[in-house]
Structures are given as C-alpha cells and as structure tokens.
Structure 1
Amino acid sequence: MSRITDAFSRARAEGRAAVVPYLTAGYPNPERYLDYATRLGQRADLLEIGLPYSDPLGDGPTIQHAGEVALRAGVRTRQVFELARELRARLGIPILLMTYLNPVLAWDPERFFAAAAEAGLDGLILPDLPPDEDPKLVAEARAAGLDTVFLLAPTSTDERIATVTRHSSGFVYTVSVTGVTGARNKLPDLGPLVRRIRKATSLPVAIGFGISGRETARAAARVADGVVVGSALIRAIEEGRDPLTLLEEVREGARVE
C-alpha cells in the first residue's frame, strides 16, 4: 500500500472522505504560498501542488489566473520542486504534483521524475496524458517511486475506465463535469460513474472540479473516497479571505453520513 492509498484508508477509518486541497505553486508569491499550503496541509489528508503552466487547457479562469501570476513572478519548474521539498519537510501527508505533460517533456521525463522523487513528492496527476498513449513514460514515473493519477469524466466509457485504472496508482481522479476546473454550487449525480469505476479497480476514487464548500463536499463524499478542492481556495485568497476557513467547511461536508 502506498502512502497515498494509506491516507485514504485512514480517512475512511475516521468516517469521512479524504480532503485534498489544491494550490498553484508560487501563488500569490512563493512565501505566502508556503504559508497557505502548510496551514492547509496540516488540516488535510493529502496535498496537491499545481505546477504553473502557460497553456492549462483543463483549468478554468481562477486557476489559469493563479498560474499567470506565478509565472510572471518567475516561478518555474525548478522552484516548484524547491517549494515541494520545503513542504515535505513541514508536512507528513502525501504530496502530489499536478502537471501538464509539456513541462515533463521539456525537462526530459527521467530527469523530471527523479527531481520530483528527490523533492519528496509521492505522485503525479497528469491531466492531459492518456496513459495508454505512452505507457513507457508511466512506467518511468512508477520506477522513480511516484504514483501516477489519471482522470476520468462522466463521459468515460467502460472501456476507457478499464484502460485508465490499469495505469493508475494511488487513486483515481474523477472530474465532476465535462469541462474545466472551477467552483460550482451543485454537483451532478456521480454515483453511477463511481460505481462503474469501482467495478474496474480497488483504488480510492476522488472527486474534483466543482467542490466549493460544505454542500458540494457532502455530495462528493456520499459516493467517493476523496474530495479535491482548488479553485474555491484560490478565489478565497484572491478575495483576501482565509482559505483555511473554507477547507474546514469542506472537511465538515466530507464526513460520511
């Protein structure tokens, strides 16, 4: 069992879905990012770090803007690994890096995966890589000691679910909508999708893309093992609010009824 699946098991034993906050690395600046990420990580089960990228096709305007701010401030892949290393020293929970494929290829996959592992990362979330398109790259990440997390959507066929879960480790990331990231007031019924995923794998299933607070977290926790919240946290920071207050609401909603 990896540290990631172990974190989901501990949350389940406590009667709740695992809580996974996401923040774009280096936003709003590296120092404040470390403070926010540390405080959120102390109340979370896992932490997701977003690597700033110039063309984040799967992200909505909130995360796109956070990435633009970080990039304008000079945050690059090397510094993201440095921030991850510092968070690893501060936190005992699993830490994952969400990255699009181009930064991995630009560094060279073997070098990128080695740097990620050396920084103390537990896994990678690769939203734009169909894993069956490059199984060698997936194998290289796993050989470096990194779990590989891939995404499924409400439109995923049973065949696609079987393919994605075969290449996944740690957990399976299920997006709530066929669209980009962003906080939403209501989630669709994801029970049928999660049940189909559970037929294909014993890995935990986490729901993201739309978690905005207590009620959406509750809807996700009713059917899944984890709740990922990102855009709503970044929006709180933009508006000068404490994102930890929102995370506590998500934790409350994540309790299994």
Structure 2
Amino acid sequence: MSKLRDVFKNGHKAFIPFVTAGDPSADSTVSQVLALAAAGADIVELGVPFSDPIADGPVIQAAGLRAFAGGITVNGVFDIVAKIRETSQVPLVFLTYANIPFKYGYEKFTARCEELGVYGLVIPDLPAEEAGEILPYTEKHHVDLIPLISPASGSRLEKLVQHATGFIYIVSALGVTGQRNDFALNLPDLIASLRKVTDAPLCIGFGVHTPEQAKTLAKEADGVIVGSAIVQMVADNADPAPVIGKYTKEMVAAVESAE
C-alpha cells in the first residue's frame, strides 16, 4: 500500500510545499523541511537540482544554481534526507529530472529512496511511454511514480495515469512553474475526467501562491502543491525556516477549510 495514499484518508485535503535541496545549503534545507513539517505540511516535495530544468521557471532555476554553488550533489540530497529522518517522518517526494536516477542507476537510486523514506518521484521530463524503464525499480522499492497531467493531456489521460499509485500531480496551467493569478479554464473538467479513470488522489500545482487560491483549488482536488512562492521566500530571507513555516500554517488552514 502506498504510504502517500495514507495522507489522503477520510477525505483529508493535503498541503504539499516544495523546496530545492541544497538551497542555499544542506543545513538550511534540513531546517526548512523541519519547519514545513512542524507547520502542518502533509507531504514535502524536495527538488533535486539539475543542470537543465525544463519545467522550472526562473525562481526555481535560480534556486538550483544557488544549490550548485553551494556544492550540492545527488549523494548530498540523500544526506539531507537522512538528516531530516533523524527527527521527522514527514512524507517526502523527490522532484527529479530523468537523467539523475538514470545516471545514478535506477536500482541504487530507488533503493536509497526506500531506505531513507522517500515515498515518491515526480519526473517532469519522463514521457509515459518511457516510464517502463524505471517502473520495475520503483515498484520493487515501494516508491510511487507520480505522473504530471496538464490541461493539454486530453485523450491520453488513461495511459498517463495507469501507473499512478501515490497521487497525481495536475499542472494548473501550461508553461513553466511560477506564481500566477489565472489557471486553466478546463481544470474542473480535467479533474472530472481523471476521476473516471483513476482513484488516485489528485493534487494541483504550478502557480498557486495565495490562501484564497489554495482553498478554491482544494474544493476541486485532493491536495495543493506550492513551490515558487516558498522558494522565493528562501531566496529573500537569511533565515527562511520561520518565514516559510508561518506561510505554510496559513496555507494548511486554507486547504483544510475546503474539506
């Protein structure tokens, strides 16, 4: 049974914040994740920095560059998780580009995820047709492969969600990540279509940044994902943990008010 599924039991609406591993340092990331968990985050998404992050907008790209400047490596990301696990069992998922587990070795990468309690992988540049390469390893090591579904997915929905076990990441609008004020008009239709082909929880991300947006989206979906707004706070504050913790408390309250 997927450990991520447990989060959504009894109609619970999840708040899922994102931070970039190693931004601006490994120790800071540990503090950030612990602050997010203490503030009520249901799952924390940890970005594994990559040299060519095609789905990321300027805010998260800049975070990746700061992390690289601080010397982050894939092993360093796993070290961050190990440090978090000394004091917190908050569910973690990685956002990673496909080349990272490929070069690290699918077996080794997914085995370390299982060992350290990384429950899922979001891989933005992995086409559904190529998921078969990593799938035997994610299944063996009980790591959920989390598909990204966009408003343009159309008739391919059934194929895109066939391997979804943890939750499904719905992209709220086309384009890269970043704060926005408008979302795809067909989101309710997309959610209704997905409900017909999967029982996996549906979480919406890309551009969400206000409690009002979070509450509105949580009425339709099972969870809300916020990245760029939090990553910008990390960039703007020398000690970001208390700042993102306060913001997360507000967002958790907004999401839960939609239950």
TM-score (norm 1): 0.93
How far apart are residue 134 of structure 1 and its match? 3.6
Residue pair 1:210, 1:216 contacting (<8 A) in 2 also: no
Residue pair 1:21, 1:41 contacting (<8 A) in 2 also: no
- Structure 1 stretch displaced more, 221-230 or 87-96: 87-96
Per-residue deviation, residues 82-126 of structure 1 (Å, max 9, x unmatched): 111222232222111110001111111111111222222111111
Mapping of residues 1-257 of structure 1, within 5 Å: 1-9=1-9, 12-13=11-12, 17-42=13-38, 43-158=40-155, 160-189=156-185, 190-240=187-237, 242-254=243-255, 255-256=257-258
- Structure 1 stretch displaced more, 127-136 or 26-35: 127-136
Identity %: 35
Q: Which amino acid aligns with 1:4?
A: L
SS at match of 1:133: helix
- Structure 1 stretch displaced more, 112-121 or 199-208: 112-121
- Structure 1 stretch displaced more, 191-200 or 106-115: 106-115
How far apart are residue 55 of structure 1 and its match? 0.5
SS at match of 2:161: helix
- Structure 1 stretch displaced more, 85-94 or 107-116: 85-94
Residue pair 1:165, 1:172 contacting (<8 A) in 2 also: yes
Per-residue deviation, residues 131-154 of structure 1 (Å, max 9, x unmatched): 322413212211111111010000
Alpha-carbon distance between aligned partners in 2 of 1:103 and 1:215, rounded to the nearest angstrom: 35
Residue pair 1:217, 1:227 contacting (<8 A) in 2 also: yes
Matched pairs, number: 252
How far apart are residue 197 of structure 1 and its match? 0.8
Structure 1 unaligned spans of 5+: none
Q: CA RMSD in A?
A: 1.4
Alpha-carbon distance between aligned partners in 1 of 2:89 and 2:101, rounded to the nearest angstrom: 26
SS at match of 2:250: helix
TM-score (norm 2): 0.93
How far apart are residue 248 of structure 1 and its match? 2.0
How far apart are residue 185 of structure 1 and its match? 2.5
The structure whose RCO (Cα within 8 Å, separation 6+) is larger is 2
Alpha-carbon distance between aligned partners in 2 of 1:100 and 1:221, rounded to the nearest angstrom: 27
Residue pair 2:63, 2:235 contacting (<8 A) in 1 also: no
Residue pair 1:26, 1:75 contacting (<8 A) in 2 also: yes
